[in-house]
Every structure is written in C-alpha cells, then in structure tokens.
Amino acid sequence: MLPQTPTPYDGLHVRHADVFPKICVRCSRQFDDIRSFIAGTTPVFRSSGLMEHKDPAIGTVVILIRNCTCGTSLALHCKDRRDRSNKGIARRERFAALLALLTESGLSPETARAETVRVMNETEES
C-alpha cells in the first residue's frame, strides 16, 4: 500500500530540486523527493511542520520541518505557494524601485517611466 501524501502538502515544491536526495545526518536515511520525504517522516509537534519565513532578500520561504524515524528533525526549504498571486504585487514593487533608481540617477520622470516600462516588459518576456 502506498502512503498517501497528506493534503497540507499538496502543491508543495522545494525551492531547489538539488536538495534531493536528502540524507538524514544521523541515520543516513535517504529521501529521493518531497513525497518520499513526507511519507517517510513523522510530524513535529503534531503540526503540519510548515512554517513561513520572511526573508528580505528572497521573499517568503516556506520551511517544512519533519522528524526522521530516528528522531532527527529535518528541514526542507519550499517555495511559497502564493507566488502566483503575489506576482502582481512583486511586479509593482519592482516597477517602483526601478523607477526611483532611474529618477535618482538623473533621468527625467518621463524618460525614467518609459525606460522602466521597457525594462519590465523585456524581463517579462524572458
């Protein structure tokens, strides 16, 4: 019987695929992906083990903490699942920051705005 992935973890993905295989530092147990990690570990404090961490440099990080069967707590850095809905906000913030930067560096407000739009559109396409 295959263990079912509990629903709090639906749609959860690690930030970097190269964290797998994740190996427990204590018992050397190996987890090949997020599913096997969740299936092969137990909850911490009877919670989902999901924690949100706001990092000024990279934004919101979701950290998943689970206990290995040997009792060691293992943490996985996951993507913020709200990335999609936050995209518009992030884009507006980037726009404002870029606009301020160009204005500060001496461009007229009109030119700065036009340049910001151009740069943002290029970023969007790539």
Residues that bind Zn ion (CB under 5 A): 24, 26-27, 29, 68, 70, 72
Cβ nearer to Zn ion, comparing 27 with 96: 27
Q: Minimum Å distance from CB 100 to Zn ion?
A: 49
The structure tokens 């705005």 sit at 113
Q: Minimum Å distance from CB 68 to Zn ion?
A: 3
Q: Minimum Å distance from CB 29 to Zn ion?
A: 5
Cβ nearer to Zn ion, comparing 38 with 99: 38
Residue pair 49/64 in contact (Cβ under 8 Å)? The answer is yes
Phi-psi region of 11 (alpha: psi -120 to 50; beta: other; left: phi over 0): left
Cβ nearer to Zn ion, comparing 24 with 112: 24
Cβ nearer to Zn ion, comparing 29 with 78: 29
Q: Minimum Å distance from CB 42 to Zn ion?
A: 11
Question: Three-state secondary structure along 3-67?
Answer: CCCCHHHCCCCECCHHHCCEECCCCCCEECCHHHHHHCCEECCCCCCEEEEEECCCEEEEEEEEE
